A and B are shown apart, each in its own frame.
Chain A
Amino acid sequence: MDELLAGFLEEAEGLLENLDRAALVLEREPGNGDAIRDLFRSAHTLKGAAGLVGAAEISEVTHLLEEALENVLAGRMPFTSNLADLLFQGFDYVRELVALLASGMQADPARHVEVLAALGALRGAGHNTVSNVGPQEDSGNDYLSRLSADARAEILKASEREGMSVYQVVLKFDPEIFYTGQDPLVIVCEILRLGDVVSFVCHSESLPSLEELDPERVWVWFEIYLLAPPGMLSELRETVEFLDPASNQILICELKKEDLTSLWAGERPLSYDTGILKEILRQQKIYIEQNKGRATAAPSLERVLSLITGAVGEQDILDRRLGEPDPDWRCFNEAVNMLEAALAGGERMSAGAGSEKAGVAFTPGNVAVSGHSPSGASPDTGGRKFIRIEESQLERLFELSGELTVAKNSIPYLVRKLEVYWGIPEAARELKEKYQLLEQISRELQDMVMGLRLIPASQIFRRFPRFVRDVSKDLGKKVRLLIEGEETRIDKTVLERVYEPLLHIVRNSLDHGLEPPEERSAAGKDPEGTLAMRAGQDGHTVFIEVEDDGRGIDPVRVKENAVEKGVITPDKASLIPDDEAVQLIFEPGFSTKKEVSELSGRGVGMDVVRDTVESLGGSVQLKNSPGTGLTVRLELPLTVATTRVLVVRCGDSRYGIPMEDVQEVVRAGSDDLHGLGKREGLYLRGRVVAVTHLRNVLGYEPATGGDSHSVVILRSGSGVAVDALEREVEILLKPLPGDMGNIELYTGASILSDGSILLVLNPRSLVSGGVMQ
């Protein structure tokens, strides 16, 4: 008897013992996670070993056992007494086979078939997710909707070819197809030979790790787009003639160009189709389902975690995740539920308007959010669907989306820890993959949520005709108001914050800019002045401008006023060239205290206008033509990108540390910090963390000993000791202007809501020993 076989016999004996033992435990305690994992592992190992030595019958039987055990492990099947019976039957038969193998005898085929049939009952709970028995779960349009922009471009180009058709072929084979003697690769190649390949994807997202891969099953599926003459459908269908439609999901159809363009045209960057939303939701739900963190949940994160605990024994991690739903996952859940509710509400609203085309799951449509009032719908409704979302819901959604972004950021840290600290690279790799998927989804969700915040400029523009009429009447001026580009979409927050500044600018125009009718006539102008409000988009920025054809700003007068109000000295004033003089209006103190905003009750000068606009990440520009008019142009960012920072105190000043760089915060007494060369070290959970004092870095006097410190532990692994921690805020980070931008220590600054300036630190420079000295 050869060595390999002898080795197998020994191993098999041990494994069978294991199997019996674990099954007995599990029968008594059906919830015992260790037992089920043990059971599954043993069966899997036995199957592999049997395959290696060519013990096919043993392999076959253990395959059935393994399948059933996987279902139990994944929570799809309960471990009942009946199941235990069947398993024991299986184990006994395997023992029989092993004994036969040992004595060099063949298995009895009839008996074998009999036992397999009996054990067939193990299949009760059904197969795993790769193929589903029954009708297609996805339609052709669903696959088309998920294609990347590149693939779509290729397919559209191909569909333009005269006299040729594009065929869509989706092949999801029965995972057990190999046992029918069929190799899916042969079919795929046959199909590829029938035309020119426009797009070919071998989807491998279900492919497990190498160790877990059962090579006798199919784990991948195929999506093929082929260019071929019309009428090839029958030939294509012939290639899959032998496949059992009950266990193989095959989709073959001929695509028409009009269907493609109408399907994909519905998706514009600033509005969202219900189809896409649904798809995002679906993917999120799958992800949530897979990663609820409970012991009976399906693999992915759970399996990775059990890999960790199996190898390292850090039970507390697993416990924490198993105990209750992780708050990170709650984020998902909430966001998903809200979106679904919103969608459901919208669909109910327009029920009867659109209709489901028979056999097509996708319904073209647009989702837009109406802002403050019922008339918020876009002008050209033309058959599109709209839904209404409560503002508070939207805010919450936005918050959650942001929280999600932050929450997922702890995963790369875990990946590194797995790799380096615990030395389980396979787990790290799996986790990393899941994180990438998570990041994709989270980013898409953020983009989408951001998009929901865009509302047309008309929302604020429409308040102005009345305002202009009233004010101009009061002032005795004749004004014609022009509004252009009101359909331009701008972030809701930006628009809201810019409203008051706009009021001020318009008021200025009406008050100081536009002359009374007589003066205008005298100057040869139309007695009726024109005030134009325009909005438009320029690449990544959006602008709103107010143009009047009044007096413009007289540089001489401005300088006089500035000197009068003490804003600049007379000497300085004479040095300023005329065309730069207009900028003086932005100086604080330029506005008289008498100008009080009707709405807010506080002084609104151009300086406040500029501050407000700049705090949004925008800028104010003036185009001044003395005598002919003034244009005030506000450039605004398309979206409001916020960063979360942790505000810390050092001395009397406040600084920000980006939350994405923060791992955790701890308190350390002076005796927790030990000298470590030029810096200090903090002992934290078995590791030494190098700690730098922020005071040292910034050039403050060193902290006196005996104080306890708050230490911010960065993701990079080092720590920063600060005087005190304050709160977390969400800010608009702007780079430091001019030369200051070159200082490595700061990544930027922001204006807080109370008007103070927060300098945000660059963590990398903090721990490189400090930059300023």
Chain B
Amino acid sequence: MTITRKGSVLLLEGSLSIEDSWELKQALIELKAETGPSIDLRDLEGIDLSIVQLLLCFIREVADVSLDPPVQEELRSILGAMGVLKC
């Protein structure tokens, strides 16, 4: 799994879970400072509630963030149901 940031884009790849949550939190806090932030979830392969909570928190606070949904259908529908992605 990787969390990388390129400017105003945060790239999340592979399986993310609670063990990565502090790192993700830090990355999201830093992302808040960017204008026009976006999170690329296309290559996301795994997720858990801890990660979902962080994402929910983020989108609640940053109105103009754009999210690239995961390619994997199951993940897409989970994130949609949780309210992270707008269907």
Does a CB–CB distance below 8 Å link A and B in the complex? yes
Which A residues fall within an 8 A CB radius of B? 48, 51-52, 178, 183-186, 188-189, 192, 197, 200, 202, 204, 207-211, 213, 215-216, 218-220, 426, 429
Contact of B58 among A186, A189, A210, A219 (CB under 8 A): A210
B71 proximal to A (CB < 8 A):
no
For chain B, residues 1 to 60, give those with C-beta under 8 angstroms from any C-beta of chain A: 17-18, 21-26, 28-29, 32, 47-50, 52-54, 56-58, 60
* Residue with the highest number of chain B CB atoms closer than 10 Å, among A197, A208, A213, A218: A213
Cα–Cα distance between A192 and B53 once the two chains are bound (Å): 19
Residues of chain B contacted by A202 (CB below 8 angstroms): 56, 81-83
Residue B73 lies at the interface, judged by CB distance under 8 Å to chain A: no
Q: How far is the CA of A426 from the CA of B32 in the complex (A)?
A: 11
Interfacial chain B residues near A197, Cβ < 8 Å: 81
Nearest B-chain residue to A173, judged by Cβ: B49
Q: Is the interface of B mostly helix, strand, loop or mixed?
A: helix
Could you tell me if A52 and B61 are in contact, using CB atoms closer than 8 angstroms? no
Contact B56 A216 (CB under 8 A): no
What are the residues of chain B within 8 A of A192 when measuring CB–CB? 81
Cβ–Cβ contact A213 & B49, under 8 A: no
* Contact yes or no, B82 A213, CB < 8 A: no
With A189-B78, A200-B81 known as contacts, the answer to whether A216 contacts B18 (CB < 8 A) is yes
Residues A185 and B56 in contact, CB atoms below 8 Å apart = no
Which of these, B32, B47, B50, B82, contacts A215 with CB under 8 Å?
B50
**How far, in whole Å, are A232 and B39 apart by their CA atoms in the complex?**
39
Interface pair B29/A52, CB less than 8 Å apart: no
Contact B49 A185 (CB under 8 A): yes
Known contacts A210-B28, A215-B22; A178/B61 CB under 8 A: no
Whether B61 contacts A429 by the Cβ 8 Å rule is yes
Residues of B within 8 A of A216 (CB): 18, 21, 50
A213 and B53 contact, CB distance less than 8 A: yes
Is the Cβ of A426 less than 8 Å from the Cβ of B25? no
Q: Which residues of A contact B48 (CB under 8 A)?
A: 183, 185-186
Measured CA separation A52–B78 after assembly (Å): 27
Bound form: Cα–Cα A218–B48 in Å: 11
Apart from A184-B49, A213-B53, A218-B49: 8 A-B pairs, beta carbons within 8 A: A52-B26, A178-B50, A183-B48, A204-B60, A208-B57, A210-B54, A210-B58, A220-B49
Residues A213 and B83 in contact, CB atoms below 8 Å apart: no
Instruction: Identify the 8 closest CB pairs spanning chains A and B, nearest first.
Output: A215-B21, A51-B22, A185-B49, A183-B48, A210-B57, A184-B49, A52-B22, A215-B50
Give the residue name and chain of the A residue nearest to B49 (CB): A185
Report Cα–Cα, A185/B50, bound state, in Å: 9
Please name all residues of chain B whose beta carbon is closer than 8 Å to the beta carbon of A209 when the two chains form the complex.
Answer: 57, 61
Residues of A within 8 A of B25 (CB): 48, 210, 213, 215
Kindly provide the distance from the CB of A676 to the nearest chain B CB, expressed in whole angstroms: 33
Which residues of chain A are within 8 angstroms of B47 by Cβ–Cβ distance?
185
Contact A220 B53 (CB under 8 A): yes
- Nearest A residue to B26, CB-CB: A52
Please name all residues of chain A whose beta carbon is closer than 8 Å to the beta carbon of B52 when the two chains form the complex.
185
Interface centre among B24, B32, B50, B58 (most CB of A within 10 A): B50
Bound CA span A189–B32, Å? 30
19 A-B pairs with CB atoms under 8 Å apart are A48-B25, A51-B21, A51-B22, A178-B50, A185-B78, A204-B83, A207-B53, A207-B57, A207-B60, A208-B57, A210-B54, A210-B58, A210-B61, A213-B54, A215-B21, A215-B53, A216-B18, A220-B49, A429-B61
Tell me the minimal C-beta distance from B53 to chain A in angstroms. Answer: 6
In Å, the complex CA distance between A178 and B22 comes to: 14
Contact A210 B22 (CB under 8 A): no
A-chain residues with CB within 8 Å of residue B56 when the two chains form the complex? 202, 204, 207, 220
- On whether the beta carbons of B54 and A215 are closer than 8 Å, the reply is yes
Q: Chain A residues near B50: list those with CB within 8 A.
A: 178, 183, 215-216
Closest CB of chain A to B5's CB: distance in Å?
15
Most chain A beta carbons < 10 A, residue from B17, B21, B81, B83: B81
Inter-chain CA distance A189–B23, complex, in Å, is 25
Contact between B81 and A52, CB atoms less than 8 A apart: no
CA distance A213 to B26 in the complex (A): 11
Give A208 to B53 CA distance when docked, in angstroms. Answer: 10
Chain A: minimal CB distance from B46 (Å): 10
Give the docked Cα–Cα distance between A216 and B50 (Å).
7
A183 and B57 contacting across the interface, CB-CB below 8 Å: no
A61 to chain B, nearest CB (A): 16
A188 surroundings in chain B (CB, below 8 A): 49
Residue of A nearest to B57 (CB): A210
Residues in B neighbouring A429, C-beta threshold 8 A: 61
Q: Chain A contacts of B49 at CB under 8 A?
A: 178, 183-185, 188, 218, 220
Residue interface bits B55-69, CB-to-A below 8 A is 1, else 0: 011101100000000
Given the known interface contacts A185-B49, A220-B53, the answer about A210 and B32 at a Cβ–Cβ threshold of 8 Å is: yes
CA distance A192 to B52 in the complex (A): 17
Chain A residues near B83 (CB, 8 Å)?
A: 202, 204
Cα A202 to Cα B50 in complex, Å, equals 14
Residue of B nearest to A185 (CB): B49
Minimum CB–CB distance for A57 against chain B, Å: 15
Cα of A429 to Cα of B61 in the assembled complex, Å:
7
Given contacts A185-B78, A202-B83, A215-B18, contact A52 B57 (CB under 8 A): no
Tell me whether A215 and B78 are in contact in the complex, defined as CB-CB below 8 angstroms, given that A210-B32, A210-B61 are known contacts.
Answer: no
Cα distance A189–B52 in the bound complex, in angstroms: 13
The answer to whether B23 touches A52 (Cβ under 8 A) is yes
Could you tell me the distance between the alpha carbons of A61 and B37 in the complex, rounded to whole angstroms?
35
Q: State in angstroms the CA–CA spacing of A472 and B61 once bound together.
A: 72
Chain A residues with CB under 8 A of B81: 192, 197, 200, 202
Distance in angstroms from B82 CB to nearest chain A CB is 5
User: Across the interface, which residues of A come within 8 angstroms of B82, CB to CB?
Assistant: 202
Which of B47, B52, B54 has the most chain A CB atoms inside 10 A of its CB? B52
Q: Which residue of A lies closest to B17 (CB)?
A: A183
Q: With the chains together, A216 CA to B60 CA distance in Å? A: 19
Which A residues are CB-close (under 8 A) to B24?
215
Q: Which residues of A contact B17 (CB under 8 A)?
A: 183
Residues of A within 8 A of B18 (CB): 178, 183, 215-216
A186 to B57, CA, bound (A): 20
Residues of chain A lying within 8 A (CB to CB) of residue B61? 209-210, 426, 429
